[in-house]
Structures are given as C-alpha cells and as structure tokens.
A and B are shown apart, each in its own frame.
Chain A
Amino acid sequence: MWSEKYRPQNISDMIGNEESRSLIIEWLTKWKKGTKPILLVGPPGIGKTTIAYLIAKQFQYDLIGLNASDVRSKSQINEILLPVLGNVSVMGIPMIFIDEVDGIHGRGDFGGAEALIEILKEPTIPIILAANSDISDKMKNIKKVVKTIFFKPIPPRLLKIHLENIMVKENATLSLGSMIKVIEKSKGDIRSMINLTQSFVTGFDPPVEKSFENINVEDGINAFFKANSIDEARSVLYSIQIDPKSKIDAFYSSILTSNLDNITLAKFLEIISEADMLYGKIMKTQNWRLLRYLNEILIKLYKNDQRMRYSQYSISWPLLNRIRWDGKKIKSVSSIMAKNLHLSSSKFITICFPYMMFCIKNNKLQLDSDDIFYDIFQKEIELIK
C-alpha cells in the first residue's frame, strides 16, 4: 500500500502545514509537567496522526496511541490511561496520542469525555489529541483545557509535487487528466490521493466514486442495488463512510419509497430492523467494536434490483409537513392539557382529545377565536368524519 510506503519518515519530509508543525515541535521542546496538552484539528489524511508518531520517534518518547473507539467510557479511559500517567518512571518516557476525540460519544452515563477532561487538566506526560472537527459541545469543553493547533488541507500545488515524486520513485506514469482528477477528488487529503493514484496506475480503474472513501450516500445506495455481484455490492457498502445511524436510515427510506412488492418489502425491512437492533445494542452498551458487523447485516439487502432508488425521506410530503407544523402545535396542546387532566400526553391525545374536539364541533364546548390553539383545533375539527 503506497499510502503506508510513502508515509513520511521525518517531520521534515511532511508536506504542508509548516507553521502548525513548528508549533508542535516548539510545544514539545518546551514541555514540562503541567503544560497544556495539544489538540490537532483538521480534515482526514493531512498528517495529524503522522506528526504525532514522528514527533514521538524523533524526541524518543514511547507513544501510546489510542483511538477514540478504545476510550469511550469513563472506566475504559481510567483503565488505560491512569497506569500510564502514574508510572512514568517504569515505562520510560511515555506520550499519549488520542485520535478521533470528536468520536467519543458523549452519553452522560458513561462519562468518557468528562473522564478525559479530568486527565487533560493535570497532564503528567505530553498528550496529543486529534479531531476532525472542534465544533461540538463536547469539543468545546475539551478545548478549554488544551492548546488547539489547526491543520489545513494540503494545497493542490504541493499535492502535485508530492504525487510526481512518488510517480518517479515507482517508475509509473499517470496522464495529466487523471492526475488533476486525483488531486481534485482528494480535496487535500494526501492519504486518499495516494490510494487513489495507486489504484489508477495498477490498472484498477473503476469510476472514482466506487473506488475509495467519501462516496456520497445517494450514489452509494444506487450503486449498491445496481452492483453485478455481491462482492461489488460489499465494496460499495464499505465505502459509504457515514455514521451508522445515517447509513441505516438511508437504506430504510430508500426501501420504503421504491415501490417494492410486499414480500420483498417485508424481507428488506426485517433486515433493517436487525441492523437497528445491532445499533441499539451498541448505543446502549457503548460496545463500538460490534459496529464491524453492521455492514454484514446490511449486505443481506443485496439484490440487483432495478426498482431500488435512493430517497432521503420515507414519508410523504403532506405527512412530513403535518409532523413539522401540526405535530408541534399538538404537542404544546397536550403538554398543557394532559398535565391538568393528570394524564400522560399519549393517553390524553388518544382518548380525551378526540372527544373534546367533537364537543367543540357540536358547540357544546366554547372555543374562543383568540384561543392560543384556535388554528389547530379548527383543523382537527375538520378532520372528524
């Protein structure tokens, strides 16, 4: 794999983000107990992980690399990190690198992010964090206790030079058109660019969308059901790189809107139901390693089926609008009325509300035209058969 082969061996071999790189070096050379950890923020494939490994190597630290999937709960964080933090002398000079911190799921019960923040507040060894984005609430809390360094996508000019160097070393050629396509597609992501290039020059030249990460959902779902073999479908499935919930939802809504016969519909929905159960278990137990089985459940949907089309929404527009507008109003009606009638909202709306509307319709309960719920009541009254 070229992307591993050409992973830089020294910090000076890296391309782009010179300023950020020197900030990191400066941080580590001046590091002493209590110095704030650093957080590297930027899109994938531009060297955040690489620089963490290289700087540890060059400054002779033992890098303990963790992926956010290793540290999702409070107990896991404490189990893995506390021994490292406490036993500096035994272990040599450790340095901690936590990748994808924005991937720690902030479920209150598990306290992963909180436990991490406690550790970050009083660092006894250098800690480097990396994230794709720093905008979530959880990241805001983390940002308070770290120094943030931004990494920008690599400009096309530098990518081209880098690419040409690799082509020379590999004794390969690539047409200028393909090269531009590769650079454009990679959007500043070096790793993706190198991977794509490798697949091009080795003659594997499927449409770009199918060949590597960042395939969009719509094309992905459509390609999945147009695939000619299960292997092709599988590779499409694995390259739809979105969060599991969106992936399940995308298949779900597409299945429901593709005018399938009842037998196929039931069969497909059962598979989606299974996928949702797996996802539910993951969310409840935070055992994210189970996620690897999701695609193998979804692959059961594969069937070359010309009827299948991607759709984002699974319900009709009128109903969507009703949920959006009427749903909101009805919710505020029941939140007031159900409490006063000492009922749950659900029971209120099922039993009392229809009778109440009926009485208004028959003028036995008086509805003022300045009633805050006047519009929605009128609408509901018209719906009574």
Chain B
Amino acid sequence: MGNRQEDHMLLTGMWVEKYRPSKLSEIVNQTEIISSLESLIKDPTDMPHLMFSGSAGVGKTTTALCISRQILGEYSRDYTLELNASDERGIGMVREKVKKFSRYAGMVDVPFKIIILDEADEMTSDAQTALRRIIEDTAKYCRFILIANNISKIIAPIQSRCATFKFTTIPEEEMINHLETIAKKEKVKADKNGLKAIYDYSEGDLRHAINLMQATASIGEISEVNVKISAGLTKTSDVDDILKMALSGKIIESREKMIELIKVYGMSESDFLKYLNSAVFKINHEKISSILQVIAKYDYRILVGANPEIQLSSLLAELGKLEK
C-alpha cells in the first residue's frame, strides 16, 4: 500500500524483527504445517483462503507474511493488506479498507492480492457475518489469511471457506534452542536456568520470549536473576496489581490504574479482561470461582453495554466487595 508509514529507527534494533524468519523453511517448530503449506502454494492459483489458529507467539503471523513473500515476491509489500481486527473500529472500517484494496486486480503479474486479518476471533459474530460477505465478494482478486487464537470463536461459515491450520505450542526444548542461537549471534552469555526462566515466564510465546531476552540482555547476561528483574516490566503485571488492589478493597486506586492502562496506553478492553483472567490464576485466593463469575458477568455486560469504562469500574467495585 502506498501510504505505508515509515519504519521507526528503533524497530531495526528489535530482535523480534531482526530474527523474524523470512522463509517458510526457517519457521520454528511447525514442520508439518509448513510442509503442507509449501505444497499448497506450489501452484499459487490454487491456493484457498487460509485460517491459522493457535496461541500467541507460535508463528501464525510470520507464516502468513512468509507466504505472501513467497507468492508475491518483490510485490508482497504493495499487494498485501495487513489488518488487525482488534485495532479496526468495527466491521465498517474493515469493509472500507478491504473494498479499496481489492477493487482492482494487480497491475503486475501476481496471481492475487493477499489480505491478512489478524486477531479475527476478536470480531463479534455480527462482524464475522459481514466478513463472510466480504470474503465472497472479493474472492476473484484476493485471498484471505485469517489468524485467530481460538478457532471456536470463528463462525462456521467462515471456517468452512478456509483451509484451517492449527499451530501447536513450541516445546520447551525447541524454544530454548532457538533462544540460544539468537543469544550466540548477539554475543550474549546465557545459562540454562536463565533460558528456562524465560520459557516459563513467556508461556510458550516465542515473541514474548525474544523480547524478554533482549530486555534481560540490556542489564547483563541471561541468568535467572536478571530474567526475574526484567520479567515484571510488562503491562500484564499492572493488571496483576489492579486485581490485587481491587480484592483488597482499594477500588478507586485500582480503577485509576485500569483507566491508565486503557486510556493512556491503549490496552484493549478485551485484552484487559484476558490478562485479568490469567491474573486470577496467579494469586492464591479462596474465592477464585466467585472472582471468575464476577469477571464473566462484566465481560458479557461489556458486549451488551455502551461504555466499557463503566462496566470495568463496576467490575472492580464488585471484586472489592468480595473480600469482606
């Protein structure tokens, strides 16, 4: 797309970008998927719409980008549209962007244009129904690669239009080997315990793991101690704090922190709820099921209501009441 924003200088220093595979064959772990994808795109004109599911940081987006590069070659940047459903405000925006992008066939010799729609499971079922139409309307010139964490959140009609690939989580050993390779190339000392700590903390998310390793490397070698220092940096720790504050009755304080995350930093409400959910399992609380019930109640209310801030504030207040 012509209006692509310039790369920021800092990004080139990010290891996640530096070591992102550029060919399908370089992708970590997903050997079966990769070999069947490779045969699928041998004759690109036959390529169906694709759907990748699997947890975060296992290579779904990277695989999609590799496919685009392998099929479209030098034109991949101009003939690939990348959208993230959690960023686009409603299906209207998606429709507009896709429509604009797919209106004409490519001017150069490419078999089709590629639309990568990340976090597709973040779309409401209404939006997905609309998406189904969009996929049909643009099939002549475009192929979709849909990416989702959870395939059961994708409506059946869309699933049936795609060839689905389920990405598996990266096993500990393979992840640690990969991290070790990067550490070597960056000339950073890394011991086994440090790497294992990274693996544990990142919960199988390779992107997170590489980021964490880079942050750790900025204070010294990759040791368990150093990893622990860096691991608390992410905003998910803020969500942990918010939960603790709310449960101890500091409602106003926890609410201000929640609003800071969402309104200053731009964490999405659905991500907030996701991290809040996992935060519940990190604390040892006897009323764990009551807590989850409260969260579930307001997760639903956000879908129905008009103002997520109101719903989340009420959620925290109700958690504050639980303890007593």
- Beta-carbon contact of B218 and A346 below 8 Å: no
Q: Are A266 and B217 in contact, with the CB atoms below 8 A?
A: no
The docked-state distance in angstroms from the alpha carbon of A315 to that of B265 is 16
With contact pairs A359-B214, A362-B218, A365-B13 given, residues A270 and B318 touching in the complex (Cβ less than 8 Å): yes
Task: Decide if A337 touches B266 in the complex (CB within 8 Å).
Answer: no
Q: When chains A and B are docked, how far (Å) is the Cα of A207 from the Cα of B324? A: 42
Mask of B5-35 contacts with A, CB within 8 angstroms, 1/0: 1111111011011000000000000000000
Q: Does A136 contact B (CB under 8 A)?
A: no
Chain A residues with CB under 8 A of B7: 340
A266 to B317, Cβ gap below 8 A?
A: yes
Q: Is the CB of B207 within 8 A of A351?
A: yes
Nearest neighbor of A334 in chain B, beta-carbon distance: B266
Q: Is the CB of B10 within 8 A of A365?
A: yes
A252 within 8 A of B: yes
Does B110 sit at the interface, judged by CB under 8 A?
no
Residue of B nearest to A330 (CB): B265
Cβ of B324: which chain A residues have Cβ within 8 Å of it? 262-263
- Residue A279 is within 8 A (CB to CB) of chain B in the complex: yes
Report whether B304 and A346 are in contact in the complex, using a CB–CB cutoff of 8 Å. no
Interface footprint category on A: 35 or more
Is A280 touching B266 in the complex (CB atoms < 8 A)? no
Nearest Cβ in chain B — how far from A27, in angstroms? 39
Q: Is the interface of B mostly helix, strand, loop or mixed?
A: helix
Residues of chain B lying within 8 A (CB to CB) of residue A265: 251, 317, 320
Stretch of B39-47, B80-88, B168-176, B279-287 on the interface side: B80-88
With A256-B313, A273-B301, A354-B234 already in contact, the answer to whether A266 and B266 are too (CB < 8 A) is: no
List residues of B (290-317) whose CB comes within 8 Å of A's CBs. Answer: 298, 301, 304-307, 310-311, 313-314, 317
Cα separation A358 to B213 with both chains bound (whole Å): 12
Q: Are A337 and B8 in contact (CB under 8 A)?
A: yes
Residue of A nearest to B229 (CB): A358
Known interface pairs A319-B259, A344-B86, A345-B266. Does A355 touch B212 (Cβ–Cβ under 8 Å)?
yes
Asked if A362 contacts B313 (CB within 8 A), the reply is no
Contact mask for chain A residues 331-343; partner B; CB cutoff 8 A; 1 contact, 0 none: 1001111111111
Is B17 touching A340 in the complex (CB atoms < 8 A)? Answer: yes
Q: Which residues of A contact B118 (CB under 8 A)?
A: 342, 344
How far in angstroms is the closest Cβ of chain B from A261?
10
Which residues does chain B contribute within 8 Å of A337, judged by CB atoms? 8, 10-11
Q: A368 interface residue, CB < 8 Å from B?
A: yes
In the complex, chain A residues whose CB is within 8 Å of the CB of B317: 262, 265-266, 269-270
A120 to B171, CA, bound (A): 66
The yes or no answer to A323 lying at the interface (CB within 8 A) is yes
What sequence of 0s and 1s flags, for each residue 256-296 of chain A, a beta carbon within 8 Å of any chain B beta carbon? Answer: 10000011011001101100110111010000000000000
Is the CB–CB distance between B318 and A349 below 8 Å?
A: no
Residues 252-270 of B at the A interface (beta carbon under 8 Å): 252, 255-256, 259-260, 263-268
Residue of A nearest to B255 (CB): A256
Q: How far is A382 from B195 in the complex, measured between Cα atoms in Å?
A: 28
Given contacts A336-B8, A339-B82, contact A327 B266 (CB under 8 A): yes
Structural contact, B234 and A342, CB atoms closer than 8 A: no
B321 and A319 contacting across the interface, CB-CB below 8 Å = no
Q: Do B5 and A346 touch across chains, with their CB atoms under 8 A apart?
A: no
Binary contact track A112-140/B, C-beta < 8 Å → 1, others 0: 00000000000000000000000000000
Indicate whether A316 reaches chain B with its CB closer than 8 angstroms.
Answer: yes
Whether A90 is near chain B, meaning CB under 8 Å from some CB there, is no
Say yes or no: B218 contacts A358, CB within 8 Å. yes
Are the C-beta atoms of B304 and A273 separated by less than 8 Å?
A: no
B215 nearest CB across to chain A (Å): 4
- Per DSSP, chain A at the interface is helix
Check A358–B264 contact: CB distance below 8 A: no
CB neighbours of A266 from chain B (8 A): 251, 314, 317-318, 320-321
Interface membership of A4, Cβ < 8 A: no
Whether B11 lies near A347 (C-beta < 8 A) is no
Highest count of chain B CB atoms <10 Å: which of A245, A327, A360: A327
Q: Mark B205-222, 1 if CB is under 8 A from A, else 0.
A: 001100110110111000
Chain A CB within 8 A of B271 CB: yes
List residues of chain B with CB within 8 A of the CB of A252: 310, 313
B218 contacts A364, C-beta separation under 8 Å: yes
A256 to B259, CA, bound (A): 13
Q: Is B141 an interface residue (CB 8 A)?
A: no
**Closest residue of B by beta carbon distance from A325:** B264
User: In the complex, what residue of chain A is closest to B207 when comparing beta carbons?
Assistant: A351
B8 touches A340 (CB 8 A): yes
B277 on interface, CB distance cutoff 8 Å: no
The answer to whether B260 and A344 have CB atoms under 8 Å apart is no
Instruction: Kindly list chain A residues whose C-beta atoms are within 8 Å of the C-beta of B320.
Output: 262, 265-266
What are the residues of chain B within 8 A of A322 when measuring CB–CB? 260, 264
Question: Does B38 reach chain A (CB closer than 8 Å)?
Answer: no
> From B213, which residue of chain A is reached at the shortest CB distance?
A355
Interface: B235 (CB within 8 A): yes
B65 at the interface (CB under 8 A from A): yes
Contacts of A355 in B (CB 8 A): 211-212, 214-215, 230, 233-234
Report B185-225 CB contacts with A as 1/0, cut-off 8 Å: 00000000000000000000001100110110111000000
Q: Which residues of A contact B16 (CB under 8 A)?
A: 341, 352
Q: Which of A336, A344, A371, A373 contacts B119 (CB 8 A)?
A: A344
| CB under 8 Å from chain B, chain A span 73-123 | 108
* 18 more A-B residue pairs beyond the given contacts A345-B87, A354-B233, with a C-beta to C-beta distance below 8 A: A108-B92, A245-B306, A276-B305, A315-B256, A327-B266, A336-B8, A338-B87, A341-B11, A342-B65, A343-B84, A344-B86, A344-B119, A354-B235, A359-B218, A364-B214, A365-B10, A367-B10, A371-B9
5 contacts between A and B (CB under 8 A): A245-B306, A262-B249, A262-B251, A280-B305, A358-B218
Residues of A whose CB lies within 8 Å of any CB of B are: 108, 245, 248-249, 252, 256, 262-263, 265-266, 269-270, 272-273, 276-277, 279-281, 283, 314-316, 319, 322-323, 326-327, 330-331, 334-347, 349-356, 358-368, 371, 373, 384
B residues near A, CB below 8 A?
A: 5-11, 13-14, 16-17, 56, 61-62, 65, 82, 84, 86-87, 92, 118-119, 207-208, 211-212, 214-215, 217-219, 230, 233-236, 249, 251-252, 255-256, 259-260, 263-268, 271, 275, 298, 301, 304-307, 310-311, 313-314, 317-318, 320-321, 324
Question: Which 5 pairs between the two chains have the least Cβ-Cβ distance?
Answer: A362-B218, A280-B306, A364-B218, A280-B305, A269-B314
